[in-house]
Amino acid sequence: MKKILITRKLIKDSEDKAQKIFEVKLNSNDELYSQAKLIELTQGCDGILTSLTEKMDADAINKLPKSIKIISNFAVGFGNIDLEAAKKRGIAVTNTPEVLSDATAEIGILLILGACRRASEGIDAARLSNWKWSADYLIGKQLTRSRLGILGMGRIGQKIAKIAKSLGMIIHYHNRSKLSADKEQGAIYHDSLKSLFSVSDVLSICCPATKETVNLINKQTIEYFPTGAVITNVARGDIVDDEALIDALNRRKIYAAGLDVYKNEPNLNPGYLKIKSAFILPHLGSATKDTRIAMANLAIDNIDEFFNTGNCKNIVN
């Protein structure tokens, strides 16, 4: 029986599943392991089921025991793992695509609505009981007939587009390549960031975090947007230059932001906390019971498939 380390506590259904297939080291206290402790715990293991909280950089990967053959990431993203370093060590890296698309798209729509309709300000006012109706009180932006730009029209982007279209939004997108007509569903393709951003009343960031996408939203590209645009991010915090976005919010170039992901989570840039028009969530994209179980089960299945066949359809390196 193969032995694996599961670095964070999973929902019980998934831990039970893992224990039926493998000899498992569980993290019953859900401790955030230091890199040194994680490496220590991998001794004698054949695989690791990681989460985004583990930074598996080249240094960590090079210190893993030779017995480790797979790192199964409990996420669709894998920016926390140095893929090249793993490949050089002969370690397969897998992710959990598709199963979290619906839940994440729902949060993507919530970010759009929350930012456009000034939900944070409204919640604060309601809790303090200090609001009084007037014709211009907490006026926000209506989604109907506004232009939604989607940066990264993958599974999640397409689902957000479908829901947004039903709300009356006009969909534009930028992708590495133009989609087929059946996947576009009437969305308008732009072959450059500048072209997309210039027509985006609202932007939904859905692209993966890679070396090429780090700080795509920066001081220069923010100027491409119409004044008063809204920027939302349901992908990864690395894609946004925080200081540039905070500055744009403060000077009202950008009307509002809806954010579920951040650099250096959970330590988000404190500048966002001072801005009323920032609608912020604590990385809830996949946070439904069904989705978290499906993700963990797929991460377990990835390891099982790899050891049974020598391959896995969800290998990313």
- Structure token digits, residue 129: 């009981």
Residue 174 annotated among the catalytic residues of the structure: no
Helix H segments across 82-180? 83-88, 101-116, 119-128, 155-166
Residue 265 annotated among the catalytic residues of the structure: yes
Quick check: 142 and 112 in contact, CB under 8 A? Answer: no
Residue 283 annotated among the catalytic residues of the structure: yes
User: Helix crossing, 289-309 with 101-116: angle to 10°?
Assistant: 140
Q: Among 23, 84, 243, 265, which one carries the catalytic annotation?
A: 265
- Coil, strand or helix at 202: strand
Provide CB contacts within 8 A for 216, sequence distance 6+. Answer: 151, 193, 205, 207, 239, 240
Phi, psi of 101 (to 5 degrees): -65, -45
> Which DSSP string do the residues of 32-44 spell out, in sequence order?
---HHHHHHHTTT
* Closest to 310 in 3D by CA, of 66, 67, 70, 120: 70
Q: Among 54, 283, 292, 305, which one carries the catalytic annotation?
A: 283
Quick check: 226 and 200 in contact, CB under 8 A? Answer: yes
What's the order of all strands across the beta sheet hosting 70-73? Answer: 23-25, 3-6, 47-50, 70-73, 92-94
Cα gap 257→278, rounded to integer Å? 5
- Structure token digits, residue 260: 């579920």
Q: Among 117, 172, 236, 292, which one carries the catalytic annotation?
A: 236
Residues involved in catalysis: 236, 265, 283
